[in-house]
Amino acid sequence: MTLNRWIAISWTILALGTAASGAIAQQVDVASGSVVQSVLKLRPGEYVWEPDLAPSGPTLLIVNTTAQRALLYRNGIPIAATTVSTGRPGYRTPIGMFTILQKRVEHYSSTYNNAPMPYMQRLTWKGVALHAGQLPGYPASHGCIRLPKGFARLLYGVTTLGMTVVVTDHATTPRVAPTPEIALGKGVPELQSARTSEWNPGKAPAGPVSIIVSAADGRAIVLRNGVEIGSAPVRIEGPVTGTWAYTLRGIDGDGPHWLRMDLSDGGATDRPVPREEWRRFHAPENFRRAVAGVVQPGTTVIVTADSLQPGAPVTCPSAPRSSASAYSGTDRRGHDRIAYRQSGGGRAKEIA
Q: How many CB atoms lie within 10 A of CB 349?
A: 10
Beta bridge partners of 132: 147
pTM of the model: 0.72
Residue 11: per-residue pLDDT = 40
Buried b (16+ CB within 10 A) or exposed e, 53-81: bbebbbbbbbbbbbbbbbbbbbbbbbbbb
Both 136 and 250 in a single domain? no
Both 147 and 11 in a single domain? yes
- CATH code assigned at 146: 2.40.440.10
- Residues of the chain above pLDDT 90, percent: 42
Both 81 and 178 in a single domain? yes
Banded pLDDT at 223 (limits 50, 70, 90): very high
Both 38 and 176 in a single domain? yes
Residue 111: per-residue pLDDT = 76
Higher per-residue confidence, 57 vs 342: 57
Both 127 and 273 in a single domain? no
Both 135 and 20 in a single domain? yes
Q: With respect to residue 192, please indicate whether it lies within any of the assigned structural domains.
A: no
For residues 120 and 136, give the distance between their C-alpha atoms in angstroms, rounded to a whole number: 19
Both 321 and 182 in a single domain? yes
Residue 187: per-residue pLDDT = 61
Both 207 and 249 in a single domain? yes
* Nearest to 306, CA basis, from 298, 316, 297, 314: 314
Q: What does the pLDDT look like over 260-277, one tens digit per residue?
A: 886 654 444 678 888 888
For residues 126 and 129, give the distance between their C-alpha atoms in angstroms, rounded to a whole number: 9
How far, CA to CA in Å, does 299 sit from each of 55, 59, 207, 264? 8, 16, 10, 20
Q: What does the pLDDT look like over 175-212, one tens digit per residue?
A: 666 677 767 777 655 555 567 899 999 999 999 999 99
Catalytic residue positions, numbered: 131, 144
Question: What's the number of domains the chain is made of?
Answer: 2
Amino acid at 211: I
Q: With respect to residue 350, please indicate whether it lies within any of the assigned structural domains.
A: no
Q: With respect to residue 1, please indicate whether it lies within any of the assigned structural domains.
A: no
Provide the 3-class DSSP secondary structure of residue 73. strand
Q: What does the pLDDT look like over 74-85, one tens digit per residue?
A: 998 888 888 999
Q: Measured on CA atoms in the order 135, 137, 141, 147, is the torsion positive or negative?
A: positive
For residues 221 and 229, give the distance between their C-alpha atoms in angstroms, rounded to a whole number: 8
Higher per-residue confidence, 274 vs 308: 274
Q: Is residue 112 over pLDDT 60?
A: yes
Both 235 and 116 in a single domain? no
* Nearest to 261, CA basis, from 271, 276, 250, 248: 271
- CATH code assigned at 300: 2.40.440
Q: What does the pLDDT look like over 4-46, one tens digit per residue?
A: 444 344 443 333 222 322 222 232 444 443 343 455 567 898 8
End-to-end CA distance of the chain: give it in Å, rounded.
Answer: 18
Mean pLDDT score, 128-156: 95
* Nearest to 112, CA basis, from 68, 145, 88, 143: 143
Q: How many CB atoms lie within 10 A of CB 326?
A: 27
Residue 174: per-residue pLDDT = 59
Both 206 and 290 in a single domain? yes
Both 323 and 298 in a single domain? no
For residues 260 and 271, give the distance between their C-alpha atoms in angstroms, rounded to a whole number: 5
Both 109 and 249 in a single domain? no
For residues 15 and 343, give the distance between their C-alpha atoms in angstroms, rounded to a whole number: 15
How far, CA to CA in Å, does 232 sit from each of 47, 238, 347? 33, 19, 52
Range of the domain at 261: 198-304
Q: With respect to residue 346, please indicate whether it lies within any of the assigned structural domains.
A: no
